[in-house]
Amino acid sequence: MMRINALAEVSPIDGGGNCRLALTDEDMHGRNLVVDWMRECGLEISVDAVGNIIGTWNVGAGAPVMSGSHIDTVRTGGRFDGCYGVLAALEVIQTCQQAGITPPRPLAVGVFTDEEGARFAPDMLGSLVYVGGMPLEEALDVIAIDGAKLGDELVRIGYAGVTPCPGPIPHAFVELHIEQGPMLEANGVRIGAVTSVQGISWQEVTIVGQSNHAGTTPMSLRHDPALVAAEITVFVRQLAKEMGGDQVCTVGKIDLHPNLTNVVAAKATITLDVRNTDDVLLNQAEAKIAEFLQVVASAENVQITTRKLVRFEPVKFDERVIDCIEEIAKQQGNTVQRMPSGAGHDAQMLARVCPSGMIFVPSVKGISHNAAEFTETVDLIAGANILLHTMLSLTTLEPTSELTN
Ligand code: GLV
Ligand code: MN
Ligand code: MN
């Protein structure tokens, strides 16, 4: 808790949260602090070419059981999203060291670059590169929403490391995270044993119309990108409602140009975040949106172009890891439920290369990506204890020849 609060002192925003967009000066200060703490625990630290920081407690033999998460935040982030997972993993190692527990294989903590995708798309970029899902060169060339290049920003903040990507495959990976949604609290359950992560589709939609005088242009002669942006926003809300189930759709960003009171906009740029646990349904939602874009474009006589930012299929976690988390949570006297994750996480990338899973603790009122994000200390501690025993238990997990993702 002390480390969570200390990290939250780096780049604070009103309301107790953080703005630590990936590879900004604020991210650099946060990284420096975590690296200092890793050093204090005697971890061997490696920084790879995409800036992922891996701290390893080199005990025993073989590939490490790894935990970890991210410390970058969205612009209006809370203090727990990601940071909790990184700092709890460090706490697990320190606790073992202090208690004289020597695991049969190394334990490692990963701090993955740009999990949020709020500055550089896609989200989970660092862990994606770590597992070989995106070539390093492509990642280094990604341009931020502020125009900066990822590779240049890594060099600028001193985190363009020398360790090659993809990184070494861990024996197993487990990530502890706040739920960021309302289910655990609503069900009065303390621990979520995460079964899967839903598929994610992000696209940027650019609408170009005819900019003109707001007072003199008759309504019937307008080609208004602002109207079309609003219609798309309403459409995706209705689509999610009609599809029901796990379907969610969000327009989180709207930029109008020139963005002036008395000017019909020339251009609108919006983002669509569309998710479903079922990839077939996610494909259907994407197709319906594409169809609607054509319909509104011709109705208002504007040009619409789209740019894919992210497309990740749903991911299932390893049954043995899920069972292990569930069992340990119960043994420690917690209520526990199996549940999918609505948010994207680094563990979904690690699941491509090693047995992986996640532990959730409740988010008060289900609020996240918001400075008001909060989890009770008693829940944070329960989650960290389960992480400790899960990591130790996974050190003896039998290797599998086949992975599901
Ligand atoms: C990552 O936090 C995401 O799910 O958008
Ligand atoms: Mn997170
Ligand atoms: Mn997040």
> What is the DSSP secondary-structure string of 207-241?
EE---EETTTS-GGG---HHHHHHHHHHHHHHHHH
The residues, any chain, with a CB within 8 Å of residue 29's CB and separated by 6 or more, are: 10, 11
370: exposed, middle or buried (Cβ count in 10 Å: 0-12, 13-18, 19+):
middle
386: exposed, middle or buried (Cβ count in 10 Å: 0-12, 13-18, 19+):
buried
Element (H, E) at 306: strand 303-312
Q: From ligand 2's centre to the CA of 100, what distance in Å?
A: 31
Q: Are 127 and 346 in contact (CB under 8 A)?
A: yes
289: three-class secondary structure by DSSP = helix
Helices and strands, number each (H, E), in the chain: 12, 17
Q: From ligand 2's centre to the CA of 225, what distance in Å?
A: 33
- Mark residue 380 as left, alpha or beta (left: phi above 0; alpha: psi -120 to 50; beta: remaining): alpha
Say which ligand is closest to the CA of 68: 2
Q: pTM for this structure?
A: 0.94
Cβ of 373 below 6 Å from ligand 1:
no
Q: From ligand 1's centre to the CA of 345, what distance in Å?
A: 7
Q: Which of 369, 370, 373 to mutate to test the pocket of ligand 1 (most atoms within 8 A of CB)?
A: 369
Q: Tell how strand 267-276 and strand 199-208 pair up.
A: antiparallel
Q: Which of 76, 123, 248 to mutate to test the pocket of ligand 1 (most atoms within 8 A of CB)?
A: 123
Tens place of pLDDT per residue across the chain (405 aa): 789 999 999 999 999 999 999 999 999 999 999 999 999 999 999 999 999 999 999 999 999 999 999 999 999 999 999 999 999 999 999 999 999 999 999 999 999 999 999 999 999 999 999 999 999 999 999 999 999 999 999 999 999 999 999 999 999 999 999 999 999 999 999 999 999 999 999 999 999 999 999 999 999 999 999 999 999 999 999 999 999 999 999 999 999 999 999 999 999 999 999 999 999 999 999 999 999 999 999 999 999 999 999 999 999 999 999 999 999 999 999 999 999 999 999 999 999 999 999 999 999 999 999 999 999 999 999 999 999 999 999 999 998 765 545
Cβ of 116 below 6 Å from ligand 1:
yes
Q: From ligand 2's centre to the CA of 115, what distance in Å?
A: 7
Q: Which of 116, 180, 248 to mutate to test the pocket of ligand 1 (most atoms within 8 A of CB)?
A: 116
